[in-house]
Structure 1
Amino acid sequence: MKSNRIKGFTLLEMLIVVAIAGILASVAYPQYTEYVKRAARSDAMVLLLDAANKQEQYYADNRSYADDLNLINVPSTSENGYFNITVEVPDTGTSFTITATAAAGAVAGDTACTTFTITDTGIKGSTGTSEPVDCWER
């Protein structure tokens, strides 16, 4: 005798699977977005440190800091395009401040770390609106 029993999933089993997947997604997604933000911030920090190093090399050769990123071969945006990089040099050319500002991607809505700065004296700074944190240490 042949059995006419149909094999498959019941509605209750499907609801349990969907509920478990929803719980996992609600935990994983915020962690993933925070990881992407931290990775983008790290890229900006590395770019700022590299630019500061190149500024010092330029100063050793020219006795003034470069007021244009192209002179020290530093891009005006991070590799992933998430940060815009600018340099400020006073008229005397004896100091600089390089700034990375969040512009696009995962960090566009980041309120904790919106800008990173580094100066000729090595002072690292950051600004944000949501909480007072040192973004260089995160």
Structure 2
Amino acid sequence: MSVQGFAELHGHGRARRQAGFTLVELMIAVAIVGILAAIAYPAYDDSVRKGRRAQAKADLVELAQRAERFYTLNNTYAGFWGSVPSGDKRSPRTGNAFYLLERSSGDTDANAFTLSATPTGAQVADSGCGTLSINQAGVRSISGSMEPARCW
């Protein structure tokens, strides 16, 4: 056996290429992940805000339906808000509240009501829509700068 054959047999002689990534390849991959994260996170955050807003809208409409049932039975809206359990005056009803639900006109108006969902906590960042409101006629409004149709 020749010396060259012996060296090749035992892994000596030629330099073997190491498996794995170079530092440059790793830095390029990290940069790409960083760019994707910078684009994706704001979109995710906006989606979460829209989901919380959808829950608040559903809770407001449900409370408006309860108010109408109360009116049907009592021929007045006065006293309705007092009949709503305190746990139902927030959205969502369990976990962290992102909207506080309230009757804007107090609980004394017998012929009208306006229910509002005011953002709180992390949902305050949803300033384009702001406070969502609905009244006894079903008129929906917002306090923010966006078109009400985009928020409702």
TM-score range (shorter-chain normalised) is 0.7 to 0.9
Q: Which of residues 49, 62, 87 is equivalent to 1:50?
A: 62
Q: Distance in 1 between matches of 2:63 and 2:44?
A: 29
Q: Distance in 2 between matches of 1:109 and 1:137?
A: 14
In the alignment, does 2:76 pair up with 1:64? yes
2:112 partner amino acid: S
1:77 partner amino acid: R
Aligned-residue CA RMSD in angstroms? Answer: 2.1
2:91 partner amino acid: S
Q: Distance in 2 between matches of 1:118 and 1:7?
A: 64
Counterpart in the other structure of 2:88: 75
Which of the pair is proportionally richer in helix? 2
Offset at residue 91 of structure 1 (A): 3.6
Counterpart in the other structure of 1:121: 137
In the alignment, does 2:33 pair up with 1:16? no
Gap regions ≥5 residues in structure 2: 1-7
TM (norm. structure 2) is: 0.78
Counterpart in the other structure of 2:4: none
Does the CA contact (< 8 Å) of 2:116 and 2:131 recur in 1? yes
1:119 partner amino acid: N
Offset at residue 8 of structure 1 (A): 2.1
Does the CA contact (< 8 Å) of 1:69 and 1:76 recur in 2? no
Q: Distance in 2 between matches of 1:69 and 1:91?
A: 9
Does the CA contact (< 8 Å) of 2:77 and 2:109 recur in 1? no
Q: Which has the larger radius of gyration?
A: 2
Counterpart in the other structure of 2:116: 99
Does the CA contact (< 8 Å) of 2:56 and 2:117 recur in 1? yes
Gap regions ≥5 residues in structure 1: none
Q: Distance in 2 between matches of 1:53 and 1:94?
A: 15
User: In the superposition, relative to structure 1, how do residues 135 and 30 fare at CA in structure 2: closer, same or farther (>3 Å)?
Assistant: farther
Does the CA contact (< 8 Å) of 2:117 and 2:131 recur in 1? yes
Offset at residue 5 of structure 1 (A): 3.9
Q: Distance in 2 between matches of 1:118 and 1:126?
A: 9
1:33 partner amino acid: D
Tell me which moved more, 116-125 or 62-71: 62-71
Aligned-pair identity (%) = 30
User: In the superposition, relative to structure 1, how do residues 11 and 92 fare at CA in structure 2: closer, same or farther (>3 Å)?
Assistant: closer
2:139 partner amino acid: I
